A and B are shown apart, each in its own frame.
Chain A
Amino acid sequence: MNIIVCIKQVPDTTDVKINPETNTLIREGVESIINPFDMYAIEEAVRLKERFSGTTTVITMGPPQADFALREAISLGIDQAVHLSDRSFAGSDTWATSYILSQAIKKIKDFDLIICGKQASDGDTAQVGPGIAAHLNLPQATYVRKIDKIETKGAKQTILVERLVEDGFEIVEIEMPCLITVVKEINEPRMPSLRGKMKAKKAQIPVWGKTEIGADSSKLGIEGSPTHVVKIFTPPQKQGGVVLEGEPEEITEKFVNDFKQYL
């Protein structure tokens, strides 16, 4: 079974800063990690490969330093990686990003399953995974917490998954090839191995730009992104309120007097 895992390199902090002019994240000076949810996607792919054999491929779209994230994925047991990097990709929203990733997946061609983390810890949109499935016209299951079964039915291969919903979980069977996004309940990611780290160090990782993936220029970057961020702001914190103390009559009088000023 051939599996493609889509990952994102994110800042290793929840305390991210925003560039007020472009309304995008300031990434300089912040250590980067693999999006924590993508670690579960990587682990699940490696486990499936251990059970069914095949090839696992990790892809990411990102600046040159995203190469580190791909190598880390290899150290965790992924076989090979592709890096999608091009100036024209910069500023892509979730729609453009999922388009770019889907173009790369079309180029890789031979796959049975695409696994993504449920969302990235920086943007929290949870849109890229479903977006890829839409661009590729593939069935999908989001928020998967367990893969129950993968079986062959005639000429078809199906996957039976449990997906987390607000008040419990649903069991869904979908036809492969397909895309799933996974939640942290699905597994416990392993540590890297020494052999994996050595392999990661030596790995040749191809970098594909818009030409390599045959992308339509009008669908890339800020210009190709229908989302326009108007403003990003931190909502004002709720104030603690005022505690009135004293006899009931005094408190009531004070409350009424204070309240009048808001009328």
Chain B
Amino acid sequence: MFDYGFTEEEKMIKDLCRQIAEEKIRPHSQEWDEKEELPENILKTFAESDLFSICIPEQYGGMGGGLVDLCIATEEISRIDGGVAASYAASFLGMFPILLFGTEEQKKKYLPEIASGKKLAAFALTEPEAGSDAAAVTTRAEKKGDKYILNGLKHFITNGGDAEIYTIIALTNKNKGPRGISAFIVEKGTKGFSFGKKEEKLGIRASSTRELIFEDMQVPKENLLGGKEGSGFIVTMRTFDQSRPGVAAQAVGIAQGALELAVSYAHNRMQFGQKISSFQGIQWMLADMAAKTEAARALVYSVARAVDRGEKNIGPASAAAKLIASDTAMQVATDAVQIFGGYGYMKDYPVEKFMRDAKITQIYEGTNQIQKIVIALDLIKRYGK
């Protein structure tokens, strides 16, 4: 890995996350994947090590720092287990809307609980009929006195059931299109809030994905994010601008983990009387995998740095990072399985999990086709004269 000019603090985060991933996650990764479970004690370890507090400002109980910190942590955890990383990063996905758009009261109430790791967060946008088309949500929020009554269903929600704090996107005025969508902060245990089935997934199986069901769920108006209706669409878009580099970092970590496994295997596997790493065909594959992973990483950290510098119009770059890194992860993980040959296809070896985990990074937080739309619309706006 090249030197990205990480600060002392950033290196500290990297070292700590690597240590936790190696010592506390690697020995259990296969088991958690098989059983589709994320034991509470690993989240407790993250909390005790302050990993939930990075990139939350100090006045709200965080460590300060920015998106680079979150990308470093997510990459290191993903290098060992993309599923554990999904749950970790998804808490930040639930946190970002509060940080970016919450009122001072909302920030003071919820951010310290998320930063300390006492409460896991989640973001709930997707519905059976509204995925890529975010503006098509049908979950309704009707204002009655000083409350909103929410009815509807969200699905494919990462950390669903495990999280205590949810940012929920719902329709407050169906006649206003995207401007009729609002965001609410809802706590687990709210009357009328229940959970549907837990999804069985191809990859990132340690993280839980569930349906959220709202039946006449009463939400006090203080929990309307930012205190105003109609900002739900912009909340969603700005949140994704922040969170997509995190998905990209997850993808880089998965690629790195798969690459390391492939190199190690190739250097030990004997065929035709020699190590297969001595064959140029394998060497070229490994070199391509490494070069692409590094290129993706360089893009991810330069975008994360740009976000931390406060640059505007970060959406297209953020989308590009997610697009490139996730495609890289899929290709590198697939090639890693190829280098393992038949063994790579077997569950006895860890590499197939990386291929399964990589796939989701091309799909969630906007499919890569949606990322291309974000990039293309920006291009046309700039140069389409």
Contacts and interface: CB of A to CB of B under 8 A. Distances in A.
B24 A191 contact: yes
Best-surrounded residue of A190, A197, A198 (most CB of chain B within 10 A): A197
Contacts of B8: 201
B16 A194 contact: yes
Best-surrounded residue of A191, A195, A198 (most CB of chain B within 10 A): A191
Interface string A167-209: 0000000000000000000000011111101100100000000
A190 B8 CA distance: 22
Nearest to B54: A194
B164 interface: no
A192 B49 contact: yes
A195 B19 contact: no
B355 interface: no
A194 B53 contact: yes
B48 A193 contact: yes
A201 B8 CA distance: 10
Interface string B41-54: 00001001111011
B300 to A, nearest CB: 21
Contacts, number: 34
Contacts of B24: 191
B9 interface: yes
A188 to B, nearest CB: 9
Interface of B is mostly: helix
B63 interface: yes
Contacts of A190: 45, 48-49
Interface residues of B, number: 17
Contacts of B13: 194
A75 to B, nearest CB: 9
Contacts of A198: 9, 12
Interface of A is mostly: helix
Contacts of A193: 48-50
A86 B360 CA distance: 57
Nearest to B73: A194
A198 B54 CA distance: 13
B20 interface: yes
Contacts of A197: 12, 16
Interface in B21-43: 23-24
Nearest to B44: A190
B73 to A, nearest CB: 10
A11 to B, nearest CB: 19
Nearest to A197: B12
A212 B17 CA distance: 39
Contacts of B50: 193-195
B79 to A, nearest CB: 17
A192 B49 CA distance: 6
Interface string B156-195: 0000000000000000000000000000000000000000
Given A193-B50, A194-B49, 18 more contacts: A190-B45, A190-B48, A191-B23, A191-B45, A191-B48, A192-B16, A192-B19, A193-B48, A193-B49, A194-B12, A194-B50, A194-B51, A194-B63, A195-B63, A197-B12, A197-B16, A198-B12, A201-B12
27 contacts: A190-B45, A190-B48, A190-B49, A191-B16, A191-B19, A191-B20, A191-B23, A191-B24, A191-B48, A191-B49, A192-B16, A192-B49, A193-B48, A193-B49, A193-B50, A194-B12, A194-B16, A194-B49, A194-B51, A194-B53, A194-B63, A195-B50, A195-B63, A197-B12, A197-B16, A201-B8, A201-B12
Interface of B: 8-9, 12-13, 16, 19-20, 23-24, 45, 48-51, 53-54, 63
Interface of A: 190-195, 197-198, 201
The 5 lowest CB-CB distance pairs between A and B, nearest first, are: A194-B50, A193-B50, A193-B49, A197-B12, A191-B49
